[in-house]
Structure formats: structure tokens, C-alpha cells
Amino acid sequence: MNKGIVYLVGAGPGDYKLMSVKGVEVLKIAEVIVYDRLADARLLEHTRPEAELVYVGKASSQHIMRQQDINALLVDRARQGKTVVRLKGGDPFVFGRGGEEALELAAARIPFEIVPGITSAISVPAYAGIPVTHRGIATSFTVVTGHEEEGKSQSTLRWDKLAMGADTLVFLMGVENLPNITAKLIAHGRAPTTPAAVIRWGTKPEQEVLVTTLGEAAQETARRGIKPPAIFIVGDVVSLRKDIAWFDNRPLSGKTILVTRAREQASTLTEALEALGAKCVEAPAIKINPPASFDRLDRAILELNAYQWLIFTSVNGVDSFFNRLQYSGRDTRALREVKVAAIGLKTAEKLRQFGILADVVPAEFRAEGIVSVMEDKLAAGMRVLIPRAAVARDMLPEALSRMGVTVDVVEAYRTGLGEADGKSVAEQLKDKEIQFVTFTSSSTVTNLIGLLGEEAASLLASTTVACIGPITAETCVQHGLHPDIIAEEFTIRGLVDAIHAYICEKEE
């Protein structure tokens, strides 16, 4: 049997977007992924559905699997002929024990490659607005482990050389040993007044930065209750943070926002909010499911020539319709005699992906808007097809019917209960860990309330509720919720802009 190969991959410091292109490429082909606690779970979305995921969960002083067992696992899976990715936080060779794993693989004659990652020693200070070197202030820096190998009878760190040997000192994994580190540095000549910083969860939305001095760092860290993972940086460069801090100065920094969209659609909203500094908790309250039967939709597709207009009210309706169109053995040429209308820019954009330019896209992104726009385009006796969700507002078909138009509303998909962990969300709301809740449809409102149970209204009362439009806001009111933010433009971009504006107004 051919031997497999092992890729020792650095996942970077925490922000999943800092993963290298090469790292993502090997994740996509891996048959086995062995990953650590500090590897962002979203990186695993790049993996194949059938890939074996092995969590080894190495945290400070807590090991799900011992290092020797991890080494043996890598060798075993590679000997089975598999492609293995060992996904590690930071860089594999910067206190990541990647060298040990590489030596084990070399001894077993297993092919391997090293995919470097961005080390937290440089990136975490950068996200805190602290350059490790700076002209006129620091021309050297040293990276040091915050705790040495367990069982060593004597430290190999040369504190006499280390304390004064570099302008900037960066200690990784050193929070629990901070009293000893600071005492050793001061004892060997570093001034207690030297600027210092402790940075927890660097590069992630929950990043926390404590700016202090070498002499006060241990006491202040304990007082603030700062726990691992964190780095400790010592040097005059820390003073630059007051002028060039950027990551935690963004509009939504420090805000945690609940995203209730379906899992496959949540990323658009999450990415837009994260770009403004928010931490997003994705709790899909809805799930897009196939209809109970495709019979009516399939029949309508076979009779497309009988319709003068095809109206899409959502991206999901577009996806479902064109999937069934292709299933029937036809393509967009089947629409050559049919005019197409789209409610919403995203719906129109989705149509363009299938090669269709909507004939009508109303400026108002809801059913009422399309009725007013199409009044002069429809005539009595015309037939209109609307593929949409099983449960939806009847306003549009009823208004069109009053115009003498024959309207066929066919079920293209169903909105079901999402995969959100209601208990987990409830606990976070109870602990005031979530400040904002976003609703992008009436279904997200009703389903989240269903997931939270009887305490829903009280749990959500202390949050800021943001709705994509008045229809969704009206559903909130019906369930006893007060919508604080209602987007004027009924799109994801409009919702994000409305949240941003609300924050800015509150902080003025």
C-alpha cells in the first residue's frame, strides 16, 4: 500500500481569515484532520464531508491527547495511505511542537510537508496596535515560551541575557506564569516602569488588551481575571498602541450579535458585521427544506409557455426553481417567452448567476412594491407563476388576482426549524453575553422564540433587536418583542448599515 502524506499546517493566530492559501488547499483534500483547540472551527468548513476529524484539544495544562499519542496517530493514518492534515494554532514550529511531529514522521519514513502559519508573536501585537519593532524605539525582538517543558529540573532560559538582550520581549502562553516572568525580568535589570501589555484572544472579535507596566502586569492581570490564551509583551513599543490601535476601535468592536439566518446564508451577514468589529454567534433559527412534493412545481415548469410572468420573491425560490428546471432536463432557454420579476436586489443578483436579467426589480423590496410597479405591465387574463415558500404572505397573489390576473403560487421550498442550540443561546442571553439579535424574516422571529421556549420574551428583553424590515418588525411586536432597529433598505446591507448607524447615534 502506498504511504500517505502528512501536512503540518499552521492555522494562524485566531482570525480564520489569516489562514494561508496553501493551508486551505490541503484542508480541502485531506482525508484526516487532527486539530487543536486554537484552530477556528470555521476552518473545518473547508474540509470534505467524509473527512475524519480528530480533536486533540491541547489547552494550557489540559490535554485531550498526549503528544506521543498524537505522533502515533499521524503515523498510523499516513501508513493507511491517507492524506492527513495536522492543524495547529499559530505556526507549527513556534512552540507548536511541530518539530517533534516532523521528527517522528521522518523516523517512520512518512512523507510530510510544513505549511507555516502566521505566528501570534507578531500578529497579535499588530492587531492590538503594537509593532514589535519600530524605528527609533525597537530594533530587535525576542519570542519566548511562557512556560517550559514539564519535568525540567532547571530552567534553560538565560534571564540575565534575556531581560536586557532585546528591545521587545514577547512571551507566548505565559499568563499563568506571569508573576515569575515579571519578577525574573525585574531582578535582572528590566525597569518595572517598562510599558507592557497582555493580549487575550488576539485577532479574534473578543480580543482583550490590558496595557500596563512590567511591575504591575501580574497584579493587574489577576485583578482583571485574564485567562489563557494570551500573550505578554514587554517594551517601549507598547506605548504606540494609544495612537495606532485599530482592531478594537472599529464601530462594532465589543458587540456580540446573534445571527439567526439559515446556516447556508448566515455567512453574508456574519462577514459584514465582523468587518465592522462585531463578534457573531450564528444560531440558525430556520432551515431551508425541500417542499412536501415537487409535483406542482414540476408541472408548472413543464407548462412555462402558458405564463407571461414569473415572479421570484426570494433567493431560495430562485435556487429551488432552477434546480428543478435542470432536473427536468431543461435550462434557462425555457424562459425565453416569459418575463421575470424579482423582489430584492439579492434575488435579482441570484437570477443573474443563472443567466437571467430580471425585467422588473422594484425599488421597494417587498410585495407591495412589486404590485405598484407591475400595475401597468399586467392585463386581465394573463397568467403569473410565483414559486415561493410553503408559508408566506398572501398579499402579493391576492393583489394580482384583483387585477384579473391568474396567479399560480407553487411551493418551491419549506422553511423549517433551524439547527440552533436553543439551550446554549438561552444561556448566553441570560449571562448578557449577547447584546444584539438580528432577524431577517418573520420565520427567524417565530422559530427563535420557539427554540428559546417560554422565557423567550424575557431573555430577549435586554438585547437590542434589529429587523430587516417592517414586516419582520411587525412579527416581533406580535410576539411581545420591541424592535429597536428597522432597516430602511430591506436587504442585508441595509440591516448592517442600520445597526452601524444605531451604534454611532448611541455613542455621540
Q: Is the pLDDT of residue 306 over 70?
A: yes
Phi and psi based region of residue 461 (left: phi greater than 0; alpha: psi -120 to 50; beta: remaining) = alpha
CATH 3.40.50.10090 fits 289-417, yes or no: yes
Q: Is the pLDDT of residue 455 over 70?
A: yes
- Summarised one tens digit per residue, pLDDT across range 460-504 is 999 999 999 898 999 999 999 999 999 988 889 999 999 999 999
How far apart are the C-alpha atoms of 415 and 289, rounded to whole Å? 6
In this structure, what C-alpha cell is assigned to residue 149? 517543558
Q: b/e map of 219-257 (b: 16 or more CB within 10 Å)?
A: ebbeeeebebbbbbbbbebbebbeeebebbeeebbebbb
How far apart are the C-alpha atoms of 373 and 123, rounded to whole Å? 52
- Summarised one tens digit per residue, pLDDT across range 130-188 is 999 999 999 999 999 987 655 555 677 899 999 999 999 999 988 999 999 999 999 99
Active-site residue 173, yes or no? yes
User: Residue 493: CA atoms inside 13 Å, Cβ hemisphere, count?
Assistant: 5
Does residue 125 have a cis bond before it (omega within 30 degrees)?
no
In this structure, what C-alpha cell is assigned to residue 176? 499563568
* Catalytic-role residue among 19, 58, 91, 279: 58
Active-site residue 1, yes or no? no
For residue 368, the model assigns a pLDDT of: 65
For residue 11, the model assigns a pLDDT of: 95
pLDDT category at 311 given cuts 50, 70, 90 is very high
Compare 1 and 80 and report the one with higher pLDDT.
Answer: 80
Mean pLDDT, the chain, as a whole number? 91
* Catalytic-role residue among 15, 40, 167, 173: 173
Query: In angstroms, how far is the first alpha carbon of the chain from the final one?
Result: 68
Lowest mean pLDDT among 189-203, 251-265, 382-396: 382-396
Compare 61 and 248 and report the one with higher pLDDT.
Answer: 248
Q: b/e map of 490-503 (b: 16 or more CB within 10 Å)?
A: bbbebbbbbbbeeb
Fold for the domain defined by 256-285+418-507:
Rossmann fold (3.40.50)
Phi first, then psi: give them for residue 33, nearest 5 degrees. Answer: -125, 120
Query: What distance lies between CA 112 and its chain's CA centroid?
Result: 30
For residue 374, the model assigns a pLDDT of: 83
Fold for the domain defined by 5-118:
Cobalt-precorrin-4 Transmethylase; domain 1 (3.40.1010)
Q: Is the pLDDT of residue 265 over 60?
A: yes
Domain 5-118 identical in fold to domain 289-417:
no
User: What integer is the mean pLDDT of 45-58?
Assistant: 90
Active-site residue 58, yes or no? yes
How far apart are the C-alpha atoms of 262 and 440, rounded to whole Å? 10
Going from N- to C-terminal start, the domains of the chain cover 5-118, 122-249, 256-285+418-507, 289-417
Helical spans, DSSP H, in 140-216: 159-165, 178-187
Does residue 229 have a cis bond before it (omega within 30 degrees)?
yes
How far apart are the C-alpha atoms of 149 and 145, rounded to whole Å? 9
For residue 59, the model assigns a pLDDT of: 58
Q: Is the pLDDT of residue 60 over 70?
A: no
Fold for the domain defined by 122-249:
3.30.950
For residue 392, the model assigns a pLDDT of: 66
Stated length of the chain: 508
